[in-house]
Structure 1
Amino acid sequence: MFFYQKPLIFMLISGIWLLSSPANAQTEQPIPRDGDSSAEAEDTYASQEELQALRQELAVMREALEAAREEQRASDEAAKARLEASEEAVHAAVDEKIDNAKEERRQIRKLVPGSHDEYGYELGAGLFLSSYVQGQYEWHQDSEDAISVDGALLNQNRFLLRRGRIKLAGDYRYGGVNLELDMSTTAGDFRMAVRRAEAYLQYKKSDDALPLIQVGAGVIDTRFGYDIATSSRSRLFMERALMVRSIWPDPADVGVSARGAYKWLRYSFQVVNGEPRNSPSGFPGLAPSASPDFIFRAGADAPVNGRFRISGNLSFLQGKGFSPGRTATKGTLEWSDRNEDGVAQNTEIRGVPGRSAAPSLTYNRWAAGLDVQLRLKTRLGTSMLYGEAMLAENLDRALYVSNPIAEGMNQRMFGYYVGLTQEFTRWAIAGFRYDFYDPHSDLFESRAGKIHTYDQSIHTYSLVAGFQLPERGRLLLQYDVIRDHYGRDGAGVPRDLSNNTLTLRLQVQL
């Protein structure tokens, strides 16, 4: 069977055998002796010459045989390599199809509020139960073992429960509900509150398809840009960008929404009270003004090929803020015991005039944003390069709360961030993000009798790395380098305040 498969080798071996036979026969010729006839001697010498020629021809054929064997071995190795490459290509294609199916499932669950993440347990009848806990330790460079003048603790080096959430969701062909509770010790006590409570109706062509339209009402998540709409469960970095956190202290607000998808197009329209949950501006969950905020987002999410995906959105917000005004006050007398003798003297008493009441007023506020995400899948893992930019006016609701009525001028703000995340196989992940935020672009201050622009911009460099159990848990370490102008030197000139932070977080989800 071997000779039928290797005809060239068979022919060479046959030729060597045939040539070897007469050669061996020639070696048996007697060596000419003295006295033999000259004809016999000439025949003997001729036979020796023929023998030498046959030996040379045999050596050439042996070399050809060895070369043929080497060529056959190379051909076999090449065929084996092609087979292995073909098997690897098949496995890669299968893995790619599985990853694409998972990504499509994630996209569907992101859009459907009742099952926007890929975690949890199916309870039956379309109900899903999921939960996750984020416990962490924070170190702040500017912490002190003291209290401020208003009684707040200055120490921020502590353990805390950042988020502990339980979610019950039900998604059906034409509607669903979503209920989520949040537990946290961030505010200094043990709190549990409603994080999300939404009922919605929808229309989609099949149970596994994205809804063409979905209308919901209740406590909903704000859909503006990318960062605010990304779940804290799946986000790699500890917190959202400072720009986003200043405008939206929390993504949850009360209102109605309409959103949907058609092929690679995405859209969302919301009408909300404009007072997010946990907002320090005064009225979270309420509506101090009859004028709501209108939020519109339109974008696309499309795969370029099996490994590369691009998505992005344009977002707009238009609404009205609320300035509560003030009540009237009466004139009063104020005593300052300058010499600390406990006796009131005329020079220590002064009058404080009363103030007239100021009415409550509303003011316009708006925002516009652009975000882009690029995802690439390789053998190493998924890489994502993404960024977002935002321009807004009178919309800071956490860091420098906007009130143009009291300040007498509009507060313009601008910010952006750029981030890169990289998976290292399924078990490790790392990322870097640069975040810039200028909360007031038109601010001035007086120093030594001169007017100077006061730069309030904040630059944050965040580096995070850690390990993960896919769809189950993460252990992450993040260091934030913060550059700002909140400190002062000996001459009163603004300088950088030493306020870098370090966070170690353990997250487990069910």
Structure 2
Amino acid sequence: MRNYLVFLFYSLPFAALGQNNNAPSSYDPHDIKITGYLQTQFQVAQSPGINSWSGGDFSEHSASRFMLRRGRLKVDRVDKFSSVVFQLDGTQDGLRIMDAFIQFYSPENRSLKFTAGLFNRPFGYSIAYSSGYRDFPERARVFQTLMPRERDLGAMISYKPNKIVPFITAELAVVNGSGLNAKDYDSNKDIIGNLNFNFDSLANKKLHLGFGVSIYKGTVRSNTTTYLKPVQDGFEAVTDAANENYNFRRDYYGANLQVGYKNGFGETTFKTEYIEGKQPGVAASASTSGFAASTSFATQPTGNLYLRNFNGYFFWLTQQIANTKLTAIVGYDVYDPNTDIDEAEIGKVGNNTTAGDIKFSTLGYGITYALNGRLKLTVYNEHVKNDGTQLTNYQDDVKDNVFTTRLQYRW
């Protein structure tokens, strides 16, 4: 975390804020309104069949593909004291629900809102920031791993004192913890807290500043009598009858910053987010790729739990080019699922480490072109890097870079 904070300190002079998914298209009263967006893309991978966080894994013998990344159809209705939102996602893999929630509030003062249903977890910045507005093709690897598909089922209270301190938003949610899966696999519920500060018109409306902190307090139920606890240079197995049905801690702590500055050359934005904590996972195996061993569970995990300390972060920098419709984008993200071990020790005989403990970093760069207010072209290249380990298939950097060309239409 120290290196992250040093980089962040020197980046502050850069000069936003996002479109929140946990809201209807507008809070102005209206009957049924339909909005959405479609993303179609072509990708080329460095090797056939790679595991990838850039739209999902490639097929075993394929290193290129056309795909529908997202096809969102959002329907909402708003009256004086309530709103309802229902959003579908249609791709080549089928149709699925993305959002389905009801909000209600006082008609005289919308500072306090209550939300119930399926909605984005209110953690940090990038989770609730709509993919239809994000400049970068995907969220950072760490957030895709810890909060896959971003949503969960539960209830949330949001407070934004518009007349007193309009720059503050506070959110508190209670959720199943199992994501989009409607069947929670234990009786415990997870708690998410989020506090954001947004200053939209500073320095003669040229500077936009946002920052916030988040906390996630949850658990994962153990289905076995053995778990793996971190020790120096690996894991140690702990077997006890009391471990079965025990709920192990799943705790995250996050901080985020967004800065935007309108200058003579064009708008510059810098966004960053950091997260660390404890994540129960499993061992990498023939059925669980190393990349997915720390993924949050949608169903009850059947294997022994690995208790990992992790951290991750991203930096996103965008620069509008000479006030044109072209924007240059550069992103860098890191996810270390096990901060207690060096990569050179992973796979060492007897230390119980697997591919699920490997740290990955991704450097991405590209350009977007806003053809008009609805149509956007994105060209983006990602260099994914990992250090060598003692594991057979991970002694060197995995060849898993990805090039993406995407066309998006939003309505």
What is the DSSP-based 3-state SS (H/G/I as helix, E as strand, rest coil) of the residue aligned with 2:182?
A: coil
- State the SS of the aligned residue for 1:495: coil
- Matched residue, 1:166: 73
Does residue 1:241 correspond to 2:150, yes or no? no
Name the amino acid aligned to 1:268: E
Match for residue 231 of structure 1 among 130, 149, 164: 130
Match of 1:218 in 2: 117
Maintained 8 Å contact 2:37/2:408: yes
Q: CA RMSD in A?
A: 3.4
Pick from 388, 398, 405 the counterpart of residue 273 of structure 2: 388
The 10-residue stretch of structure 1 (383-392 or 444-453) with the greater mean CA deviation from structure 2: 444-453
Cα deviation code 1:369-399 (max 9, x no counterpart): 0000111112433211111110120256972
Q: Quick one: which amino acid aligns to residue 308 of structure 1?
A: L
Other-structure match for 1:462: 364
Residues 426 and 469 in structure 1, CA contact (< 8 A), matched pair in contact too? no
- Check 1:372–1:168 CA distance in 2 against 1; reply closer, same or farther (3 A cut): same
Give the TM-score, by structure 2 length: 0.76
Distance 1:320 1:138, change over 3 A: same
Secondary structure, in 3 states, of the residue corresponding to 1:220?
Answer: strand
Identity of aligned residues (%): 21
Q: Which amino acid aligns with 2:77?
A: G
Within-5 A mapping of 1:131-142: 131-142=36-47
2:169 to 244, 266, 274: 266
Q: Could you tell me whether the CA contact under 8 Å between 2:39 and 2:71 is conserved in 1? A: yes
Count of residues paired in the alignment: 351
More helix by share: 1
> Of the two structures, which has the highest relative contact order with CA contacts closer than 8 Å and spacing of 6 or more?
2
Mapped partners of 2:144, 2:222: distance in 1: 21
Contact 1:460–1:483, Cα closer than 8 Å, also in 2: yes
State how far apart, in whole Å, the 2-side matches of 1:426 and 1:395 are: 46
Partners of 1:449 and 1:254 in 2: how far apart?
Answer: 40
Q: 2:184 aligns with which of 275, 278, 287?
A: 287
Give, in whole Å, the separation in 1 of the partners of 2:190 and 2:62. Answer: 37
Aligned to 2:317: 420
Equivalent-residue separation in structure 1 for 2:368 and 2:195 (angstroms): 34
CA displacement at 1:448 relative to structure 2: 7.4
TM-score w.r.t. structure 1 length? Answer: 0.62
Distance in 2, Cα, partners of 1:205 & 1:315 = 29
1:299 equivalent to 2:202? Answer: no
The residue that corresponds to 1:70 in the other structure is none
* Deviation readout 1:70-112 (Å, 9 max, x if unpaired): xxxxxxxxxxxxxxxxxxxxxxxxxxxxxxxxx9xx87x7386
> Any residues of structure 2 matched to 1:84-163 within 5 Å, and which?
110=20, 113-115=23-25, 125-143=30-48, 153-163=60-70
CA radius of gyration, larger in = 1
Residue of structure 2 equivalent to 1:29: none
Q: SS of the counterpart of 1:246? A: helix
Higher strand share: 2
What do the CA deviations read for 1:167-212 (whole angstroms, capped 9, x no partner)? 1111223110001011123xxxx31011101111023657xxxx31
Q: Would the aligned equivalents of 2:30 and 2:78 in 1 still touch at CA under 8 Å?
A: no
Partner of 2:94: 191
1 CA distance for matches of 2:222 and 2:305?
A: 12
Cα distance in 2 for residues equivalent to 1:426 and 1:128: 31
In structure 1, the partner of 2:178 is 275
- Corresponding letter in the other structure for 2:131: S
Q: Is the 8 A contact 2:223 2:302 kept in 1?
A: no
- Counterpart for residue 501 of structure 1: 402
SS at match of 2:48: coil
Alignment CA distance shift 1:372-1:445 (3 Å): closer
Q: Which amino acid aligns with 1:504?
A: T
2-structure distance, mates of 1:416, 1:144: 26
Q: Which amino acid aligns with 1:480?
A: E
Task: Report the Cα distance in structure 2 between the residues aligned to 1:111 and 1:195, rounded to whole angstroms.
Answer: 10
State the AA in 2 paired with 1:259. Answer: S
How far residue 264 of structure 1 moved from its aligned partner, in angstroms, is 0.8
Q: 1:166 aligns to what SS in structure 2?
A: strand
| Superposition map of 1:3-42 within 5 A | none
